[in-house]
Amino acid sequence: MITVDSSPYSNSRKFKEFSHYIASPQRYYLLPFKFHRLSPGKEVIVNEIGDLLVIPMGTTGRIVAGEINPDNISDQELFADLIANFFISVTPLPELIEVLATRYRTKKSFLDYFTSLHIFVISLRCEHTCHYCQVSRVTSDKNKYDMKRFHIDAGIAIMMKSPNPHVTMEFQGGEALLAFESIVYAVEKTKIEAEKHNKKVTYVICTNLALLTDEMIQFFFNNGILISTSLDGPAFIHNRNRHKPHASSHQLVVEGIERCRQRLGEEGISALVTTTALSLEHPEEIVDEYVRLGFHNIFLRPISPYGFATRSTDKNKYETARFLDFYKKALARIIQYNLDGYFIREDYASIILKKMLTPFPVGYVDLQSPAGLVNNVVVFNYDGAIYASDEARMLAEMNDLTFKLGTLGEDTYEEIFYGNKVSTLSEVMINEALPGCSECAFQSYCGADPVFNHTTQGDLVGHRPTSAFCERNMEIIRYLILTMDEDKKKEKIFRSWITGKS
């Protein structure tokens, strides 16, 4: 039998001597778990709190039929693993049910504090003309496309009302630095309000760095502001994705990263990849570029549904298959760098691995149940509109206001966060209760994404068999588990990604 040492607790749980089980008249009772076929010879079982065990094909049937017999030498190890990892219990009510309940609660503890990430779309203006971007505006009309001061004030007031003692204020665009004075205003105002409301605020600015000045860097430094930029790979990919008239966007971002690093330190700046059709043909080159620039992580973000996914099932299936192929090739390259001694982590895998291999939840909006929208994130648009997530506001740019929660300065906190809209949405935000997901073994590693469902399928509930979100996550999760099971060296690398230690 092959097992994954999945649980950090498996060595520490209270464990009884083997004779205890052998003496039991009723061998065992089932605890809630789900299973998935991994490969022709293997299946995986995952329990209610996300612990997993890889077992030979057909074993689930034997477990359910009550055939795992601790008297048989060949079953002893499996029996012990099943007990230790809460798949079966020798008593109808497991003695450690309190532990199970506590761990379940811990997995959902991201709900405890409610909304943390507050995105301020400080300006819709941008000096780039990226072909895939349907949102930004190349214009100098500040009045129309920059966030007004009274909207900024109202957004800060809402952020201060969040029950969360630790909030993040993230500035996005367009190109956020085009409205640098508004950012300065917002940060200064928030500092005063945070003091009054006893809140810890983390500031993040998302920028392409093209307009970076020394004065800006100094302001970031003085206020501990983190910079999140976009780097799509080597120049031939980045510049094609991000067209900037009369300039090399790639050169500007690389120089900007370097300048930020010098003043803010390595940890002060991060970069994200936007995957486009061109990127899909160059997985290795993209990873190589991140390594060349000294990054220790790369986030192979799935393609946004706004560029690719349409309501055509055939096309989506094709695009998802291409993305998965890209992802696996890039992941192989990343693993190889690690094997060769250079620590670099892939962030999407790390989010999933953390959910698999630790008892803790992960603050990543797209892979949560209940969904991250509203619970974790809210977006204040440049025009004062409030949306349930970043994708929701992009949808609004296409005149779909399904996820608009209200307007800054007009609606109260209660109306926005506890109103009818959110209450309706909450019914489709829990993957434990969604068709298809409810029986899925990967439920606790995956999430619910009603915005994606609505955008790609015209339905908040969504149809899992044709969902690109489902197909992509199911395959990535399956692939990660199988990779760990087949190669212990790779498992070790994956574990190092969670701890951040090579």
Question: What is the footprint of other proteins within residues 155-194 (CB under 8 A)?
Answer: 166-168
Which residue's CB is nearer to other proteins, number 135 or number 271?
271
For residue 34, state whether it binds ligand SF4 (rule: CB under 6 A).
no
Q: Report the C-alpha gap between 281 and 18 in whole angstroms.
A: 54
Nearest Cα residue to 179 out of 121, 138, 219, 134: 121
Residue 220 binds which one of other proteins, ligand SF4, none, with CB within 5 to 8 A depending on kind? none
Q: How far is the CB of 449 from ligand SF4 (least distance, A)?
A: 8
Which of 454, 464, 472, 490 is close enough to bind other proteins by CB under 8 A? 464
Residue 288: how many CA atoms within 13 Å on its side-chain side? 9
For residue 500, state whether it binds other proteins (rule: CB under 8 A).
yes
Which of 169, 365, 474, 484 is close enough to bind ligand SF4 by CB under 6 A? 474
Which of 32, 41, 56, 458 is close enough to bind other proteins by CB under 8 A? 32
Judged by CB under 6 A, the number of residues near ligand SF4 is 12
Neighbours of 327 (CB within 10 A): 22
Q: Report the C-alpha gap between 430 and 448 in whole angstroms.
A: 6
Give the alpha-carbon dihedral of 187, 190, 192, 197, to 10 degrees. -160
Which residue's CB is nearer to other proteins, number 185 or number 343?
343
For residue 313, state whether it binds other proteins (rule: CB under 8 A).
yes
Q: 433-472: which residues touch ligand SF4 (CB under 6 A)?
A: 436-437, 440, 442-443, 446, 464, 469-470
Q: 207-246: which residues touch ligand SF4 (CB under 6 A)?
A: none
Which residue's CB is nearer to ligand SF4, number 419 or number 436?
436
For residue 49, state whether it binds ligand SF4 (rule: CB under 6 A).
no
Distance from first CA to last CA of the chain, Å, rounded?
Answer: 29
Which residue's CB is nearer to other proteins, number 125 or number 468?
468
For residue 400, state whether it binds other proteins (rule: CB under 8 A).
no
For residue 35, state whether it binds other proteins (rule: CB under 8 A).
yes
Tokens of 391: 């994708």
For residue 272, state whether it binds other proteins (rule: CB under 8 A).
yes
Coil/strand/helix, residue 203: strand
Q: How far is the CB of 431 from ligand SF4 (least distance, A)?
A: 5
State the pairing for strand pair 385-387/166-172. unpaired
Neighbours of 230 (CB within 10 A): 19
Q: 322-361: which residues touch other proteins (CB under 8 A)?
A: 343, 345, 347, 350-351, 354, 360-361
For residue 247, state whether it binds other proteins (rule: CB under 8 A).
no
Judged by CB under 8 A, the number of residues near other proteins is 71
What is the total residue count of the chain?
502
Residue 444: how many CA atoms within 13 Å on its side-chain side? 28
Strand intervals (E) in 235-365: 269-272, 297-298, 345-346
Residue 265 binds which one of other proteins, ligand SF4, none, with CB within 5 to 8 A depending on kind? other proteins
Which residue's CB is nearer to ligand SF4, number 203 or number 348?
348
Cα angle 230, 212, 261 (rounded to 5 degrees) comes to 70
Is 119:204 a contact under the CB 8 Å cutoff? no
Residue 470 binds which one of ligand SF4, other proteins, none, with CB within 5 to 8 A depending on kind? ligand SF4
Q: Report the C-alpha gap between 255 and 33 in whole angstroms.
A: 51
| Integer-rounded Cα radius of gyration of the chain | 24
Residues that bind ligand SF4 (CB under 6 A): 431, 436-437, 440, 442-443, 446, 464, 469-470, 473-474
